[in-house]
Structure formats: C-alpha cells, structure tokens
Amino acid sequence: MDSARIVQPDNDEHTLLIEGMTCASCVTRLERVLHKVPGVVDASVNLATEKARIHSNGVPVSALIAAVQKAGFDAHIDPTARLPVGDSSVAEASLAGSSIAGSLSYTPGIFSALRSLRASSSLWPVVLSAVLTVPLLLPMIGMLFGQDLMLPGWVQCALATPIQFWLGARFYRAGWHALRAGSGNMDLLVAIGTSAAYGLSVYLMLQHGSHTHLYFESSAVVITLVLLGKWLEARAKQQTVAALHALSALRASEATVRRDGVDLRVPVEAVQLGDTLVVRPGDRVPVDGIVIDGDSHLDESLLTGESLPVPKHVGDRLTGGAINQEGVLIMRVTAVGNDTMLSHIIRSVEDAQAAKAPIQRIVDKVSAVFVPVVLLISVITLLAWAWFSGDWQQALLHAVAVQVIACPCALGLATPTSIMAGTGVAARHGILIKDAEALETAHAIRAVAFDKTGTLTEGRPSIVEIKGITMTDRDVLQLATSVQQHSAHPLAKAVMQRAIEEAVVPSLVHNTQVLPGRGVQAALDEKTIYLGNARLMTELAIDTTPGMQFATEQESAGRTVSWLAVRDASGCRVVGLLAFGDTVKASARDAIERLKALGVRSIMITGDNDGAARTVAQAVGIMEFHSQVLPGDKASLITRLKEEHGIVAMVGDGINDAPALAAADIGIAMASGADVAMHTAGITLMRADPALVADAIVISQCTYAKIRQNLFWAFIYNLVGLPLAAFGLLNPVIAGSAMAFSSVSVVTNALLLSRWRPGN
C-alpha cells in the first residue's frame, strides 16, 4: 500500500506517541518541525506524556511521522486516536512510516504509555554505569583516609570508555539529531561536556603518562548521575498517570447478555445498543445503561469519588465500571465503546494531561534559546579562564561544569507533570477537568453563578398542590399530563409521577411545542393547551386574576407555580394552577460557605419566580440572586457578571444552561444533567454535589501553586548554578548531581498533589 497517498479529511486531529525526547528544547524543536509540514494548523508537544497532538488539513499520518523522524525522534500513532469509523488506513500509514511499528498493539493508550515509560526506565544501564564508576572514585575516597588509591591511567580509561561511548551513546545520538535540526538539547550539553572531560584525560595520559592526574571520573560520574536522574524521573512519571491506569482498569472484559431468555457470556466488545444485560452481585457494570428490573447498591467510588454505595432502582442510570454489590440488576444498554461515560472520563483526563497550560508558552520561549545561551556561556567561560589564569585544563573543566549544570529537562517537566498530577487526583475524587487551560484558570475564579434546579436543589420537584379554577383538580392534572407526557423537564416528571399515583391517563395531543423559559403548548381536539409560568400568561394577554391569590401564597412559600390555560372558540382563560416544591441539597449551604471562605462570591441565576428563588437563596446563604431569567438571557447576564467580578464560573446541569456555561470563563457541569452541558463545560462534577465546586477551585489553586514552585526551582537551578559553574565554584561531578536532582525534584514536587483530598 502506498501510504503517501492516504489523505485524511480537513481539520484532522492526530496524536502521536514520541520516543527520544529528553528536555524542553526537544519539545520546542519538534513543534517547530511539525509546524513546517504543509497543511499542519497547530502542533503541541508534551514532554511529560511524551505525546504530540497535531491539527492539520488533509495531512497523512505518514508525513507527520516522517517529519518527527527527520527531527531525530521515533513516533507512532496513539492507540486511543479517534479514527474514522471503519477506516484503518491511518493506522496502516503510521505503521508503515514507523521504525517501531512491530511493537504496536491496539490496547488502550494509557497502557501503551506505561509500557513506553517502563522501557525508558530500565535500571540495568544505571547499575552497570555505577559499578564501572565506583573504582574511578576510589582516589577521592582514599584522600579522606590519607590513602593514595589512584588507579593507573589505562585502567581508568578502560573503565570510563564503555560508560562514555556505550552507556552514554544515547546522549551522542540525541545530541547529533539536535545538531542536524539546527538546535540543541540536554543531551548535546551532556555529550559535549563529558566528551571534553574524557578527551582531556586521554590527552593528558598520552602526554604525561598514566600516573598524572586525570578527569575520567568527572565524565563517568556525570553520565551515571544523568542516567540515574532519568531513571528516577521516568519512575516518577509513571505515578503521574496512576489515575488513568486506575480508570482504565475499570473496563470490564465480559458481559452477560440475555437473548431469547438465555444468558450468554460474551466479550464486552460484542455488546450492542439496546441489548439486555444481567449484572450479578460482584460484577462490574460492563457499559452504560438503564435499570429495567431489580434493586441494588453500586460502588462508584473510582468514577465519582463517592465513597458510599449508591442505591439503584428501576429507571436509574448505570455507568460502566461501577461494581454491583448485593442485588441482581437487569439493564438496557444505552452506550457502548467510546460513547460510554468511562471512556469519556478517560479521554477527557488524557486530553487535559496532553494539553498545554497557558503559562507553558513562557517556558517554551525560554527553552527555544536555552541551549544556545548555555553553549555561549560555556565558550565564554573557557576563554575567560584560559585568558586570565593560563590554565587550559581548569578552564575546560569549568566550561564542562557550565554545560552539565544546565537543566532544560526541569524546565520542560515543571508544568506538564503538575497538570498530570492535578487532573489525575481530581478525577479520582469526581472532578473531571477537560483541559489544562480550565485547570489553570479556575484558581483565579472570583465569582460562581449557580443554576437553581438540579444544582442547588435536588432537581426532583413534586406537586405540592393543585388548584382548579374552572375545572376540577383531577381535570387540571389530566390536561397537564397530556401536555407534558413527552417532556424530560423536572417539572414534567413531577406531573407524570403524580398522574401515575392518581391513575390519570393522558389524552393524545399533537403539535407540542416547547417555549424556552416560559413553558409548553399542545393542541387537543379544537383547543390549544398552555402550561407555563406567569411570563407566558402575560405574553398571551391572559387574565390571571382568578389564580393570583393562590399563586402569590405559593410563591411566598418558595414554591414554583405553573399556570394552565386553554384557548378555544370562546377565548383564552386560566383553568387551573399547579404548585411544585423542591428540596435544597444538604451540602448546598456548606458549599456556599466554603466558597465564601475562599473569597469567592456566590450568585444564583434561575428562570423561576422571585419567591421561589428568594427562598432557596436564603436557605443556602446566597445574597445575590437573579430570578425569571430566560435561557437566552443567562449568557448576557454572565457577561455582565464578568465585568463586575472578574473571572466567573457558571454551574449548571441542563440544556438551557449550555449558553451560560460557554459564556463563563469556566463552565462547571453536573454529570447528572444533560450531555450538552457537560460537552460545553470545562469542568464536570461526576457527583451532583455543589461542594465539589469549591474542591475544583482548591485543586486548581494547589496545581497552579505547584507549577509556580516547579518553575521557580527550575529557573533557580540555572540562575544560581550557571554563574557558580562559570566562576569555577562547581566541579563537573557536583554539577552533574545538581542537574540530575533538578528533574527528579520537580517531578516529585508535582506528585505531592496526590495527597490532596476534597474538603482540604
């Protein structure tokens, strides 16, 4: 097959797994190379995840991989790449262009990433290098005890040579590729520095014999320490993807399908939409679905962060990955494969960890000039010391120390490792962060706007009272049921529940229309039925006097009132009213108090009447609320709030909240709500608990703090270390130790985020 002729549709998104990157300079070089490929719109490379995400217009994957290989790296497609359904050409093209094609297996991307990390963190080169290096350090050890343990020069050379050119060959290869690309990286610095120390030692040995003072230990120790640092770094990076590993482990491999009355055990890949599944006690729910028979409790802790088992009954939603406890559940499948909630969670966390935070752009600019500047400082150090002291040997060692102390790897890891650790720990506790920008922005939130129904209240209203005006209460319920029988609105569900309880049968209506923010209308025989709020009655110019006293009393009590009106040949009139009551969530008031403690103002926005809004606002401790706001007006209100308060988040769960979620600086959606809300929001709360809003802000603040700490230390290492090395206050061995420690300390500091717990 000619892979060069394979072209993808416009606006492709490809994710490549990259092998061979070692520092921030590698990231900068690879992004520059990818941007030069004709048709590439954008390319973002992440050092911590070792992935490149490319947006392009009709660029074949083979061309992207060829560009990566030309830059000196290996690449193959991420197995989780979202390929067109039934199209394997992308995979085949990438395999054809990849030097490691034979090793690729189509398993979830997290496992592939872990295999790559394990391969890069092999311990034997470190151990062997250390074994060969220890004898070279004997003279230094002997000096402490007044002993001369100097080895003959030829023995030192024999020990240092395999370290330099075999175990250290990776630095030469990567450094050469960087030079060919007209750039530099950490490997180039290590290769030049250790080669200089090794070459000086060989020169002195040949000129003055094998018993003169040599510097083989400097080159050997530096390589050993850098190898150790990279091994520790790789081990630490494995822990940053631990959350994804745990989520991926939730995937069931088999499912029990009931077909024609027979239960069959089949691979989960064979499950289809609409299938009936049997979930026995102890089984993991294979895919998403709805309970059609049975009662039980499910452990959803790894999905939602909820530690207590969640009761499930007929009609409740089941999420793949949860563990059934005591009862047998019969479920109907509603989502499979990449459409399940678990796949969405994993994909969102992967996307967030692969994306770059805005602050990373500053680091990228620094990294682009970092290695050339270090090399320039090294040359200046060499010439300056040689000029003033006349000792070329010491001048060379000081120049080597400058090259070795440089820490571009720490700069490259400072931000992405913090993002990975932060999004991972957030996901474990039920906070799904879609991208790095949302995580970074959330730390600066100054105001949070809450929707009322389903966010601050339970979202399960019930009919408290029915008031007939020109017909009986039962007839009012019957007409309301007829209009609402196909709606998924919470008030409609309350109407249908009351109808079931009173055995009311709806009539067949037609031409049903939803009137956003106002209500619903439908045709019945020769009449038009309207069910909605007072705003709808005003728009229809209907006299509301007959029901005004009842409506005022109910709204004063904090209830939501729906007006039922009929239009026929004799005109349009109110025939009855329904009053609905909802329960404030138990955690809502605590959530508002926690936000207040964080210095964040809470605001409530609702389409409900002023009385109901005021009651809920007072119950949860919100001072500012906006009632009777139409869905289309929520977005403009959010815009105004942003002008007043600064960074504003919007929390909602319904379809009508989507515009406001998009208008806010950060949209926060409840996973229990509409899918469109979750797709619009930057953060999704897997539990419908408003207390998680404060937790999301806190984890963002903690993560941003780690980013700043890591960048501070990464820059400090260089700002302090480079001058010390240039002025001859650091020898290459100490410089190598500092460079190795810098990367490990940055990653380890990021991993401290794993200690975070909600409520902290």
The single residue of 187, 275, 283, 451 carrying the catalytic annotation is 451
CA atoms of 204 and 519, how far apart (whole Å): 91
**Structure token pair of residue 333:** 């499948």
Q: Which ranges constitute the DSSP H helices of 121-215?
A: 124-133, 138-144, 153-162, 169-180, 186-208
Phi, psi of 331, deg, nearest 5: -130, 155
Other C-beta atoms within 10 Å of 513: how many?
10
Contact 340, 269 (CB under 8 A): no
The CA angle 138-141-146, to the nearest 5 degrees, is: 110
Q: How far apart are CA 706 and CA 711, in angstroms?
A: 8
Please state, in angstroms and rounded to a whole number, the distance separating the CA atoms of residues 293 and 458: 24
Nearest to 69 by CA among 33, 41, 42, 104: 33
Q: Are strands 571-581 and 462-468 parallel, antiparallel or unpaired?
A: antiparallel
Burial of 32-58, coded b for 16+ CB within 10 Å and e otherwise, reads bbbeebebbeebbbbbbbbbbbbebee
Per the annotation, the verdict on 451 as an active-site residue is: yes
Residues 259 and 281: their CA atoms lie apart, in Å, by 20
**What is the identity of the amino acid at 749?**
N
Spatial separation of the C-alpha atoms in residues 329 and 319, rounded to whole Å: 13
Six token digits for residue 278 = 């049997």
Helices and strands (H and E) in the chain: how many: 28, 26
What DSSP letter does each residue of 556-571 carry, written as one string? HTT-EEEEEEEEETTE
What residues are labeled active site? Answer: 451
